[in-house]
Structure 1
């Protein structure tokens, strides 16, 4: 079991990574803003890890210029079996994560709500400027309504910020850890439930919701974040000059928008 996802293999959007001595994952930022997030992880995860029911990376700085951080390998492979038992484990993990004290999380490096809301507003404005005009005219109203609803979502819990199956590990058929906390911040807990409730197979999703105790309003808000997911692929494709990624992202945007 290597615990290496695509990001660890060096093809991630944010970091280059390699396995060292079969035990350590060494990460190097691809861009300056990613370095800030990696340093945040080195502070936050030391405090957060003991409060969570599953193993997570606890990185430390190996070298500052150029930045290199390293953490002990979290055992497992990318989650591919989505049964009720795994859903319950992830639901319990997210419940514990979202129950941590957000003020303490900020003191240990997590971006505060005001910063997350400011970044959210800038991202949504960018989506409105660059993605909405690429959509068919008859879908732009629904797209703009989605963006307005996301901007209005609350921000009051520590969240992972990028939770999908590629960041949930399993070993011997059991969920064994959660990785990649570079996007952690004080934000909307529904963001972390977006894929788990609306992109995962039904038995897994039901188990997550039941174990977490997800209220209907939270489930509905998670759907907003799920619908927003492909928008990031569109802008990434635009930024990197990748028309295939832009087309794939637009297909996802249209598939998830309500009729």
Structure 2
């Protein structure tokens, strides 16, 4: 039996969408935890943990009618770890400038998302501590930047909300200046809401963050945590981009150093 992602997707199509079973599979992308393909008008994401896929499908079904931006609406979740949903329009914003209204749109999205009662999703997502100290254990990158992160570690927060928890530019779709969807909810958790703003800050800069927070209604006391998590996430993307050959991640991380590490840039970047 073919246990590759391609083979699992093909079998899932035969079981759940036979009309697409013989459609060509076009590889859409790959992350740390999954591989995505397109068949016809459908995205098929193959992950290694079927139970996690079922939980994500349940979460998306709950969130889709409540959020002000489109999210994938599951067509099926398969026992081999395949999640299928209609292809959303647009391209990821990784390496591109967002439209003029993107910060407002994402601020409204996070206000709605973080307002969901954690009790409603207790069976669908984990509760994660988001202890800044734990983020240091695998921190790597240019020594000057790692030292800068280690010199300013904020205290852990007791704030908790339902979060996307990986809201980077690669998961925000845009077309003609409008955000058309937010994808890949596999890391969603009840955790520190600062995490969702941190990657927006990393990818789009301080003015974007300020606008998103204003529309959201503010997150008092979160500034140091947003900066810390953004710095860690930028170093993580730099290492990932260099080790995987995904230059777009490394390039975006280096760009973010201009505002995340203004005193260390450019000497601290490889």
Q: Which category describes the TM-score, using the shorter chain as reference length?
A: 0.7 to 0.9
Aligned residues: 231
Does the 8 A contact of 1:197 with 1:208 survive in 2?
Answer: no
Q: How far apart are residue 102 of structure 1 and its match? A: 1.2
Residue 43 of structure 2, aligned match among 6, 11, 25? 25
| Structure 1 residues 15 and 120: alpha-carbon distance in aligned structure 2, compared to 1, 3 A threshold | farther
1:102 aligns to 2:118 (yes or no): yes
In the TM superposition, what whole-angstrom CA distance separates every residue of 1:169-226 from its partner, at most 9, and x where no partner exists? Answer: 1233211211110110011111111132353155543431221122452233211111
Structure 2: gaps of 5 or more residues: 1-26, 264-270
1:199 aligns to 2:218 (yes or no): no
The corresponding residue for 1:117 is: 129
C-alpha distance in 2, partners of 1:106/1:224?
27
SS in 2 for 1:71: strand
The corresponding residue for 1:172 is: 176
Structure 1: gaps of 5 or more residues: 1-7
Q: How far apart are residue 59 of structure 1 and its match? A: 2.7
Q: How far apart are residue 84 of structure 1 and its match? A: 3.7
Considering only aligned residues, what root-mean-square deviation do their CA atoms show, in Å?
Answer: 3.4
Larger RCO (CA under 8 A, 6+ residues apart):
1
Matches within 5 A, 1:1-259: 9-21=28-40, 23-29=41-47, 32=48, 35-59=50-74, 61-64=76-79, 66-79=80-93, 80-107=96-123, 109-112=124-127, 116-117=128-129, 123-127=135-139, 131=140, 135=143, 142-146=148-152, 148-149=153-154, 152-201=156-205, 203-215=207-219, 217-233=221-237, 236=240, 256-257=260-261
| Structure 1 residues 59 and 145: alpha-carbon distance in aligned structure 2, compared to 1, 3 A threshold | farther
Q: How far apart are residue 98 of structure 1 and its match? A: 0.8
SS in 1 for 2:184: coil
C-alpha distance in 2, partners of 1:224/1:50?
33
The alignment's TM-score, normalised by the length of structure 1, stands at: 0.73
C-alpha distance in 2, partners of 1:244/1:209?
30
In the TM superposition, what whole-angstrom CA distance separates every residue of 1:67-101 from its partner, at most 9, and x where no partner exists? Answer: 22211222222234424422111111111111111
Does the 8 A contact of 1:54 with 1:176 survive in 2?
Answer: yes
Larger helix fraction of residues: 1
Does the 8 A contact of 1:82 with 1:204 survive in 2?
Answer: no
Does the 8 A contact of 1:78 with 1:167 survive in 2?
Answer: yes
C-alpha distance in 1, partners of 2:210/2:239?
32
